[in-house]
Amino acid sequence: MDNNLFNKFRQLIYEVSGIHLSDQKKALVVGRLSKRIHTLGINDFKDYYEYVINDKSGQEIIKLIDYISTNVTHFFRESDHFDFLKEKLIEWKEEGQTKFRIWSAACSTGEEPYTIAITAMEALNSTFVDLKILATDISTRVLEQCKKGEYYAHKVDNIPGYLLQKYFEKKKVNNDWVYVVSDRIKKLITFSRLNLIEAPYPMKGPFDVIFCRNVMIYFDEKVRNTLVNEMYRLLKPKGYLFVGHSESITSTQTGFRIVKPSVYYKP
């Protein structure tokens, strides 16, 4: 793939997903798209580019974004966020709140929304609450994984043993142990495809808490500002936004107030 063709792919990916690829990402693009080209039996990257832009169904561009998207996550990642979430849920419950809405905005392969659900169940410890979690991602491939809720043993290493026993079922698949999220956790979560650059977002809100972690690092400032403004609009007053530990929204013109690094509050 020459630089001219890489730039065409890069522009297409940005226009469709908001993902900004630097010059250094060329090898990543080549490596990941090679798999798709091989699957389709297409000869080279130029022919694949033409295939994508001429696909009237729009399905191939979704496949392209699926292959480019980075899906690095694990259960209880950046665990202090879940400690904070648990404290707030207990506090709101003690104040008499019975309805809770939480959004995982870039849910990847599902570890984040399932961790949110487990944390909420432990905090609320009651069947007399209305708890719903929305989990969205641009990738249809990872959303299918999410819905299955199946994880190999090495994927659940970060889950405390008593929670693993309480909220997962263990089964053997092809001589490997697989942990399956229990139905009582699954039923709390709605998985849906969402492209974060396509504002305004279709959901009504308001949400008590929004997780949008480790995704803004892939966007330029224009897209980040759009995203954060939408998060602010959909969050309830006195609600919280969590971003990744390496991320900050201090440069955006919103009404968010910082609580501590990576945790923001809507007055």
Give me the domains of the chain, ranges plus CATH numbers: 3-68 (1.10.155.10), 80-149+182-265 (3.40.50.150)
Given this model, what pLDDT does residue 74 score?
A: 82
Q: How many residues does the chain have?
A: 267
137 is catalytic: yes
Which DSSP helix (H) or strand (E) runs through 182? none
Given this model, what pLDDT does residue 252 score?
A: 54
Question: Taking the complete model, does pTM exceed 0.85, yes or no?
Answer: no
Which residues of the chain are modeled with pLDDT < 70?
70-72, 127, 250-253
157 is catalytic: no
Note whether 9 and 67 are within 8 A (CB): no
Distance CA 104, CA 133 (A): 7
At position 238, the amino acid (one-letter code) is: K
**DSSP track, 93-114:** HHTT--EEEEEETT-TTTHHHH
Given this model, what pLDDT does residue 70 score?
A: 65
| Residue of 36, 101, 137, 208 with catalytic role | 137
Distance CA 230, CA 224 (A): 10
| Residue of 32, 55, 80, 141 with catalytic role | 32
Could you give the residue ranges of the DSSP H alpha helices within 43-187? 45-53, 59-68, 80-94, 111-124, 140-148, 161-167, 183-186
